[in-house]
Chains A and B, each alone.
Chain A
């Protein structure tokens, strides 16, 4: 069976439990269809880079799946019908990644309210020069 990763964004006014229940719901669809869910991650309530359906924030969830294509299609269909989901993206992957993803490693630093009071997302601040300052001097 092919491997998939599915990232879901749920509405901001759901509670954590409701968001996690949503992940369980779709995991149930997979197991009913003869697939396996290798990993479920809850990334937390993160702020979106732009508004999606009038939401500024969203609960991010990730499912790592090993299931037949038809089952994944059925899950996607139900995701499209679900009004609590703002967006979802399912990608096929070459291998099943059971390690915690980057999102779990640094616990949502950009979502912590900052003391300085000014709002700046350092997600995409650095732009030019940030990452490639070590231009071949070695």
Chain B
């Protein structure tokens, strides 16, 4: 990387391709990675999740919140 020292290559969606984890509202360990310390859903531009998967992910997080598996807010 001589020319562009800070270029890190193309980002790719963690839920696409082979061996990608399935988005499941029960998997709090997985969902927790896409939630900020405040409990907010992290935008896909930061997490590189594709738009399709981000919608799926957001739904799963909201289902997990409803069931008390994830918090709505962390104060």
Q: Which residues of A contact B (CB under 8 A)?
A: 7, 9, 48-50, 52, 58, 60, 86-87, 89, 91, 101-103, 106, 110, 122-128, 130-132, 135-138
Contacts and interface: CB of A to CB of B under 8 A. Distances in A.
Interface in B5-59: 8-12, 14, 24, 26-30, 32-39, 42, 46-48
B63 A58 contact: no
| 7 shortest interchain CB distances as A-B pairs | A131-B33, A48-B68, A127-B37, A49-B71, A136-B9, A124-B32, A136-B11
Interface size on B, as a range, is 20 to 34
Contacts of B24: 101-102
A131 B47 contact: yes
A98 B48 CA distance: 32
Contacts, number: 86
Contact of A103 (B26, B37, B48, B63): B26
Contacts of A138: 9
Given A125-B32, A127-B37, A132 B48 contact: yes
B71 to A, nearest CB: 4
A135 B8 contact: yes
A49 B70 contact: yes
Main secondary structure of the interface of B (DSSP, over half): loop
Contacts of A103: 26
B22 to A, nearest CB: 9
B26 A123 contact: no
Nearest to B48: A132
B37 to A, nearest CB: 4
Contacts of A136: 8-12, 48
B37 A52 contact: no
Contact of B63 (A91, A126, A128): A91
